[in-house]
């Protein structure tokens, strides 16, 4: 298996994790597809979203795979006037990752990171390993502490 920035960083910092590989379907890169391919509950699969605030500061948000980010909630908890999704063309240059393979770990540029508060409902979660077809299984507490993530309700309410 190819080592990604995310995997190298976790190994170098001796953060306990497990690598989970799965077959990639380029037409279905969403978290539900990942959950099915890894035989996991989709509530344990957290997707990584990259956003910019009005000052063009990068924000990284991890939310359960089937949920939608609430831009107003994220703006509020990040003390921003507004936030918007990063343009897809800017994802690789700003993070070092591509769509479907963006991990909150190992991102090139300094950023603040947020994660939905349901993260602690699980003993372990899955996050992207930095490459399509690679997931990292990790204890939420280890991820949150390592990245200094802010734990908040950042998803749309039903």
Question: The CATH number of the domain where 63 resides is what?
Answer: 3.90.960.10
Tell me the two tokens of residue 158. Answer: 């039903």
Tens digit of each residue's pLDDT (9 = 90 or more) over 5-47: 999 999 999 999 999 998 887 777 788 788 888 888 889 999 9
Residues of the domain holding 121: 5-152
Q: Is residue 157 part of a domain?
A: no
pLDDT, position 39: 87
Q: Is residue 21 part of a domain?
A: yes
Q: Is residue 158 part of a domain?
A: no
Model pTM greater than 0.75? Answer: yes
Contacts 24+ apart (CB under 8 A), 42-46: 42/66, 43/118, 43/121, 43/122, 44/122, 44/124, 44/125, 44/126, 45/125, 45/126, 45/135, 46/115, 46/116, 46/119, 46/125, 46/126, 46/127
Q: For the chain, how many structural domains are there in total?
A: 1
Q: Is residue 45 part of a domain?
A: yes
Q: Is residue 57 part of a domain?
A: yes
Q: Is residue 9 part of a domain?
A: yes
Q: Is residue 54 part of a domain?
A: yes
pLDDT, position 67: 94
């Amino acid at each position: 298996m190819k080592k990604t920035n995310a995997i190298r960083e976790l190994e170098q910092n001796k953060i306990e994790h497990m690598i989970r590989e799965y077959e990639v379907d380029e037409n279905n890169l969403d978290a539900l597809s990942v959950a099915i391919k890894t035989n996991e509950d989709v509530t344990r699969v957290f997707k990584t979203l990259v956003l910019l605030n009005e000052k063009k500061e990068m924000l990284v948000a991890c939310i359960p795979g089937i949920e939608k980010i609430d831009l107003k909630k994220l703006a509020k908890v990040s003390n921003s006037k507004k936030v918007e999704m990063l343009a897809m063309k800017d994802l690789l240059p700003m993070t070092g990752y591509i769509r479907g393979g963006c991990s909150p770990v190992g991102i090139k540029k300094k950023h603040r990171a947020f994660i939905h508060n349901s993260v602690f409902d699980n003993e372990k979660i899955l996050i992207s390993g930095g490459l399509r077809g690679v997931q990292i299984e990790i204890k939420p507490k280890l991820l949150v502490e390592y990245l200094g993530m802010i734990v908040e309700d950042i998803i749309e309410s039903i």
